[in-house]
Structure 1
């Protein structure tokens, strides 16, 4: 047990100005920024300087004689100063520096399923100078995508830690951004067994699923300055500091700790409700059966060891992947749709970019036309009375009609070739006719030199031997 700290031993440093504290309240909870509310005094002449020129850094120390013990360090978010009787009374509200992670709403997608939980958390923390994080969750591959949608880094880390039943615990006694992610097995010796304490059981319906240990908590007051998430032994039981409330009572600093069993510190898994119904846009990079990989506009990673495969929503398919198969190719635009708040349920769908006024012959202008078209011009058009197969931006097509006719068209003076390793037959039923027409001439020849040429009303035959029956 440490000696009690009185208000006379408290030193509040606002920037470079030292203030005398006479009222104090500090609140700390998992997943939230530590907050300090303080009333202090300074010289009256320092009022303008404190309001307009002093920086927002604040630190509270306890004078332990041989050393100064840190109690709270952070930044001021609200402050007012008033001149009273030759003194300047200052009321301020401050938060831990973890608040800096809760300012900007961001959109990122982490697609590397081989990325471990520690790598994910460290990749977020790396953008904050003077930050440190002690991570106590399993360092295993994510095995899924992680989507940060309209979330601050602080909210994203809290949510991802809930996947492991863990919380984030800011340490208000340390400078910079200092956090614990998950619960440590290291134990802090306290010697609180002789103190008065209160036992409480939270048996509300929303906590009914928890075992009895998860519903129990102990409240004890002590002079020690310990951070959130620390384990200690209290009356022979391993408990964790889950809440802290520090305040001045009759001029003495009192720290009220709420202790929980590990089961009571578990955070239920939750998802991002803003993700429901959202689409992310990108480009297909790989296709494998009915799944695709995609480079998204908001990718957080340049390289992936094992990029996530999205199921692709095809027109129709059988359970084994056979049947109708309509998949994009690499380079095609794609849209990743998230139907629920869980990113694991996301799937890929086709993406039509831009807007235009369709022509009269465009399938978009006529809902009765059912066409399947590719960007390079290949397509199948379900026309009235038949089917038309086209290639090369409609430079050639074959039409099969319901009455059994087949028509081949070649546009822009392109050649039409019919090739076969065997024989080519043109046959009709009895009484039928075979008709061939051309604008200039019809020519039939073989590799041996035989030739039949029809021009206008003239037929010319050329061969080493011509037989006429």
Structure 2
């Protein structure tokens, strides 16, 4: 609203000095008898100035309706509950403004049914975008003393209007679309209408989409912009500022390849009301398989919005919160691990797979070879063959015992040497030197035992061979 008035010279400065951002103004239409016909405007003073023209002081004042309070501060927050109704969303937005209210002519108890974000938008911009999802607009109640608004156009009865002086014009592609332009009418009348009112003009049902009131020479007139209702279906509004945005949050639930988040932009987020977001894998082939590595509950991640449609957001990366780990000191070393201590390390000359730090691991080193370390058992199993070959020495050591098993044959080395099999062949080519006993008998007896073992080859069962070997050993004692 723009108001111009003449003020006395002695009040020219006080009018400006006394004004504040909380001052309100109300304009009423009065009858000839001084009775109030209606309130034309109620709002907040936004700008005030005094100008002197040829010694006459003119007060110029601008004011906005109380709904302007919704259009001041940009905010960022999310609405994840798909079951939330649009009416509940509007009520939550308006709860920050005392006395605010709205009349819903559009939503009809519809639910959000998608992830919704108010991203760097004022409450007015955000609610306007929500209304555009239904092809309609917000209409502020300019006569209320607090923020009040209409969502959508009313179904009020049409008022017939017959005016000979009018202007017709056509806006071509007002929304940047390819459809035909919109034909509008501009009329001036003393009749009072509100935005959204229906008027039958030139035998056409039209809607008031713009209104300007003018008080000049004591006469109040109104200029209205009219257009057909069929042309009053507004295109959905997009929030282009959210394109490419990344919203940080913490994982509060995970299942399959999806996660639920508590975004940092929200003070409170329950797991029940949170929506599922797909988690982007580092590598997928054929749309089915690849790397499967989901974040843990409590991990910090980024929710990426690839375009202006926030419902297409996905989680694409996890964020490291602690930067003092010694594993971060060497950029050429790569680690891939989980919270339970299982990890794979890649360095310039080593690959290490660890199940328990310094206790269970496999190390593959360029120069040192392969090392398997376990504080418990190591089991090798194959449905077919296991081949172990060494060009020099094959060394098997055990503190307690070594067991070699194959079908019905076996060898046990546990201080004594036990050999079992259907037939046993013992053959030697070089007799290792042994310390000589004082009597010189031990060496001789050892040779006899070995010689006897050769005589039993392919002739006796293994039990007999072992037994005779033991008897021969005892005899030399």
TM-score normalised according to structure 2 size = 0.74
How many angstroms does 1:96 deviate by?
A: 0.8
Aligned pairs for 1:8-19 within 5 A: none
Whether the 8 Å contact between 1:47 and 1:83 is mirrored in structure 2 is: no
Q: How far apart, in 1, do the equivalents of 2:301 and 2:152 lie? A: 37
Aligned CA distance change for structure 1 residues 208 and 315 (closer, same or farther; 3 Å):
closer
TM alignment of 1:97-246, pairs within 5 A: 97-138=66-107, 139-184=109-154, 186-194=155-163, 196-204=165-173, 209-211=178-180, 215-246=182-213
In structure 2, runs of 5+ residues without a counterpart are 404-411, 419-462, 470-477
The verdict on how the C-alpha distance between 1:58 and 1:392 changes in structure 2, with shifts beyond 3 A counting, is farther
Secondary structure at the aligned position of 1:242 is classed as strand
- 1:128-170 deviation per Cα after TM superposition (whole angstroms, max 9, x unaligned): 1111112222332222211122221112122222222222111
Relative to 1, partners in 2 of residues 1:318 and 1:143: Cα closer, same or farther, differing over 3 Å?
Answer: farther
In the superposition, relative to structure 1, how do residues 300 and 134 fare at CA in structure 2: closer, same or farther (>3 Å)? farther
> How far did 1:206 drift?
5.4
What 5-or-longer segments of structure 1 have no aligned partner?
1-34, 446-450, 454-458
Contact 1:187 1:232 (8 Å CA) reproduced: no
Report if aligned partners of 1:78, 1:92 keep a CA contact under 8 Å in 2.
yes
Structural mapping, 1:271-310, within 5 Å: 271-299=238-266, 302-303=269-270, 306-310=273-277
State how far apart, in whole Å, the 1-side matches of 2:309 and 2:135 are.
16
**Alpha-carbon displacement from aligned partner over 1:216-258 (angstroms, at most 9, x marks no partner):** 1122222233222233333443322111111134431111111
SS in 1 for 2:29: strand
CA distance in 1, matches of 2:341, 2:145: 63
The structure whose Rg is larger is: 2
User: How far apart, in 2, do the equivalents of 1:274 and 1:396 lie?
Assistant: 51
Residue 73 of structure 1, CA deviation: 0.6
2:8 counterpart of 1:39: no
SS of the residue aligned with 1:101? helix
Counterpart among 13, 17, 24 of residue 57 in structure 1? 24
Aligned equivalents of 1:97, 1:392: Cα separation in 2:
65
Please identify, of 175-184 and 82-91, the stretch whose mean Cα deviation from structure 2 is larger: 82-91
Structure 1 pair 388/75, CA: closer, same or farther in 2 (3 Å)?
Answer: same
Aligned mates of 1:175, 1:71 — CA distance in 2: 12
Deviates more, 1:75-84 or 1:139-148: 75-84
**1:96 matched residue in structure 2:** 65
Aligned position for 2:451: none
Conserved in 1, the CA contact under 8 Å of 2:86 and 2:111? yes
Q: 1:239 and 1:305 mapped to 2: Cα distance? A: 46
CA drift at 1:307: 2.7
Closer/same/farther in 2, CA of residues 208 and 442 from structure 1, 3 Å limit: closer
3-state DSSP of counterpart to 2:142: coil
Deviations 1:172-192 (A, max 9, x none): 1222112112222x2245342
The Cα of 1:45 is off from its aligned counterpart by 5.0
CA 1:48/1:189 → structure 2, altered by over 3 Å: closer, same or farther? same
How far apart in 2 are the matches of 1:302 and 1:291? Answer: 17
Q: Is contact 1:38-1:91 (8 Å) kept?
A: yes
Task: Give, in angstroms, the shift of residue 74 of structure 1.
Answer: 0.3
Native 8 Å contact 2:12 2:50 kept in 1: no
What corresponds to 1:17 in structure 2? none
**CA shift in 2, pair 1:40/1:95, >3 Å:** farther
Mark the CA change 1:452 to 1:429 in structure 2 (over 3 Å): closer, same or farther.
Answer: closer
- Cα distance in structure 2, aligned partners of 1:467 and 1:52: 118
Distance apart, 1:311 and its partner CA:
1.7
For the structure 1 residues 394 and 101, does the alpha-carbon distance in structure 2 shift closer, same or farther, using more than 3 Å as the test? farther
RMSD of the alignment, in Å? 4.0
Shift of the 263–392 alpha-carbon distance from structure 1 to 2, 3 Å rule, reads farther
In the TM superposition, what is the alpha-carbon distance from 1:70 to its structure 2 partner?
Answer: 0.4
How many Å separate the matches in 1 of 2:357 and 2:73? 47
1:333 aligns with 2:303: no
Structure 2 residue corresponding to 1:75, chosen from 29, 39, 44? 44
After superposition, give the CA deviation of every residue in 1:87-134 in whole Å (9 maximum; x if it has no partner): 974221101111111221211111112222222222111111111112
C-alpha contact 1:290 1:321 (8 A) present in aligned 2: no
Q: What is residue 342 of structure 2 aligned with on the other side? A: 378
Q: CA deviation at 1:262?
A: 2.3
Match of 1:48 in 2: 14
Give the aligned partner of residue 28 of structure 1: none
